[in-house]
A and B are shown apart, each in its own frame.
Chain A
Amino acid sequence: MSGGDIKLVGFLCNWCSYAGADMAGTSRMAQPAEMRIVRLPCTGRVNPLLVLKAFQEGADGVLVSGCHPGDCHYNEGNYYAHRRLELLSRMMAVYGIEPERFRYTWISASEGARWAETVTGFTETIRPLGRLNLAGGGARDDDHHQGPAAGSASPAEKR
């Protein structure tokens, strides 16, 4: 992975934010290189599980971006997405993921500069947090072997 140790995933809707990211490219707006963009038809297609899966598989930050309210290509997609994503962002801390690692935003096709700023800001937020290591990194098998013994000691006792 290039551009530092962290890995960022962006889920972008095809009509607004992906086009906004294109616009940033066409305008040659320099951006950090950690972001990997996945194109989707709509933020309404973003399953919260997909975000969580990305964290589990090693993402250190996930950004979802779609059309501004009222601008959705599918009229209503981002309204539903907003509710789903807002709930997800409130649950991040419960899952043990720093809430800053997840962000959703609305960027239109004409807001290339805004996309570049968003990526830059987001990357700079995550860099100091470092790797997430949600699933225990490469220690998948270790987890398995630790078994009940590790779990039986309650965290409260450990503290």
Chain B
Amino acid sequence: MRIGVFVCQCGTNIAATVSTERVASAAMALRDVVHAESIQYTCSDPGQRTVIAAAHKYALDRVVIAACSPRMHETTFQRTMAQAGINPFMMEMVNIREHCSWIHSDMEVATEKAIDLVSMGVAKVRGQTPLFSSHVPVVSEVLIIGGGVAGIQAALDIADAGMPVTLVERGPTIGGNMARLDKTFPTLDCSSCILTPRMVEVKHHENIRLMVNSEVEQVRGYIGNFEVDIRKKATCVDEEKCTGCQICEQKCPSEAPDEFNAGVGETKAISIAFPQAVPLVASLRKEYCRLYIKGKCGICKKVCPADAVDYEQEDELHTEKFGAIVVATGYELFDWRQAYPHYGGGLYPDVITSIQYERMLSASGPTGGHIQRPSDGAEPKEIVFLSCVGSRDESIGRPLCCKVGCMYIAKQAILTREHIPDSRTYVFYMDVRAGGKGYDEFYRRAQKEAGAVYLRGRVGKIYPRGGKLVVMGADTLVGENVEVEADLVVLATGIDAAAGAGSLAQRLNIPYDQYGFLSESHPKLRPVETTTGGIFLAGACQGPKDIPETVAQASAAAAKVIVLLSHDELETSPMIAEVNHMRCIGCFKCREVCPYHAIEEQGLRDGRRVAVVIESLCQGCGLCTVACPPSVISLRGYTDNQLIEEVTAVLR
């Protein structure tokens, strides 16, 4: 064993308080150290050349560099090692700057401490063995979960890069929430007009396989090599045969709630969500179908000209391999009814949500673009908008901002004036958050052109009086209570993660917050990555977002996926856990604590069942090494013996 020790002066950063010469000469006395010297700037080019030269001259096989924090220059010196022909992991950095020279002023004390630290480094590196990264092959196919605008954007970007994509959507059509919008802010361009061409593109893209009515059930494997079970639910309609003619829907006698239209109007048990649905295929909901409830009907099957209705259809379970996963499960609107009894809690038909209003505004919506009071179908004249219903409200435990409410209220106020010129709109708001390009101008337009009256304050109560709704609030700018008699009240409800996002996150082994929003790996620098390699986030599943942000993030996630899959193989960190199979007793306590499910059971030829580390999954935390009773799992680079030696060295 031939160890070289290099003590960096870091100019005067270290040398001013640590006698690097004395540290070097003390190091020479340590076991197996054959060379030690002090260098002015070790990380500089000449410094590194000095190290490489010494490595050759003294035939070093291990190196200790006493300098700054390894968090600063470990990779630098690992590269130096490689250039010197030494395995990069046979180098140990000792931090005598941040942890020594910079925090002590007494030269004697600091020098003694630096000597201790170097002896610890030498003790540790003595137990080091060469480590080699391994490579795992990468499956080039990508799974995208969720077919909203985020999933669509990511799918198209990745597919355009030539990689096969499977887009899994839980509902009967892609398009997501954006497809339900009438217009988009701040440009007021038609939502369908910009989205539906993209939806059709997905349908026809040669690299995209679209699976609607499908859900991800189980995810196994790891970055580059996920294995996913996808359940395609039976819809009683053969997707291949259905032409989307909608005759079944017209003839179907069973009414069913219209979820696409947020409960405004009804649809049929067999139906197509909306005219631009992709795929344009009917699906049957058994829970509303007369055939399944009463046992007698079958009209849809009789009338279908394409013979596409198949009551015997069963769920299909597909198991597929993917190299990367993009989660784009989006959001849903906060269910306000429980939390806001003082707004009637759903008792008053003329208190509706903004998405219900949006559907009324839509020319292809259930009211044909006419704004109507649900109670009597009359055209409302006085319309009150409430912002932040289920957002920024500590009293119901929801401090988060929905991010889009202010803007879509402005949009709906403007559209209201267009639809009903003699209408009057009031907006109760907390603050107007209009921080996007053209956003502030847009909300001012709602005030100036559409005449919306903005009242700063929360609404305390809504109650019916003589066929109208009294909206009691406060105008905190004037400092007075305000009462507005409204024909229609529209609640800008907050944004929640999509139902089931939390349980999906658990299946994917990625963290999520108390609202079910999925957590990014780093809020600033890794905003589309998750803490699990190979799984990325796009859109509102990560937190409330508007359309431009969603699309930008989707493209960013796509870029990350393309980078990942541009390699045939992935290099894995060698600083991971390793089981000594000969001595494993097969108790699998390691598996219980592993946060990455990186330990699997394997049978040996002699019949023993032992633990095996899946190298590409292991992140090197070392939890298993402590859980292992006979300590036969070691964490490479931090083995028990290395740590024991490191500790013992300083205490001797």
Contacts and interface: CB of A to CB of B under 8 A. Distances in A.
B69 interface: yes
A117 interface: no
A19 to B, nearest CB: 6
B561 to A, nearest CB: 22
Given A41-B635, A44-B623, A58-B651, A33 B104 contact: yes
A84 B43 CA distance: 39
A57 interface: yes
A38 interface: yes
Interface string A25-51: 110111101001111111011111010
Contacts of B593: 44, 76, 80
Given A44-B626, A47-B640, A59 B621 contact: no
A47 B103 contact: no
Interface stretch (A1-9, A90-98, A100-108, A145-153): A1-9
A38 B626 contact: no
B103 A38 contact: no
A4 B157 CA distance: 63
Interface in A70-97: 73-77, 80, 84
Interface in B584-609: 593, 595-596
Interface in B618-652: 619-623, 625-627, 631, 635, 638, 640, 643-644, 646-648, 650-652
A31 B105 CA distance: 10
B32 interface: no
Given A2-B112, A21-B99, A22-B99, A59 B622 contact: no
A7 B650 contact: yes
B117 interface: yes
B97 interface: yes
B221 interface: no
Contacts of A2: 108-113, 116
A91 B120 CA distance: 28
A30 B113 contact: no
Contacts of B71: 14, 18-19, 22
Contacts of B640: 47, 50
Contact of B621 (A7, A33, A44): A44
B176 to A, nearest CB: 29
A45 B628 CA distance: 11
Nearest to A37: B99
Contacts of B627: 80
Contact of A25 (B103, B105, B596): B103
Contacts of A58: 651-652
Given A18-B71, A33-B104, A41 B622 contact: yes
Nearest to B110: A33
B511 interface: yes
B102 A42 contact: no
A54 interface: yes
A37 B108 CA distance: 19
A33 B113 contact: yes
B650 A74 contact: no
B206 interface: no
Nearest to A14: B71
B649 to A, nearest CB: 9
7 contacts: A18-B69, A25-B69, A26-B102, A31-B104, A47-B625, A58-B652, A74-B596
Given A46-B626, A77-B622, 20 more contacts: A2-B110, A7-B651, A14-B71, A25-B99, A25-B103, A26-B102, A29-B103, A30-B105, A31-B104, A40-B643, A41-B621, A41-B635, A45-B621, A47-B640, A50-B643, A50-B644, A58-B651, A74-B619, A74-B621, A80-B623
Interface of A: 1-3, 7, 9, 14, 18-19, 21-22, 24-26, 28-31, 33, 36-42, 44-48, 50, 53-54, 57-59, 73-77, 80, 84, 116
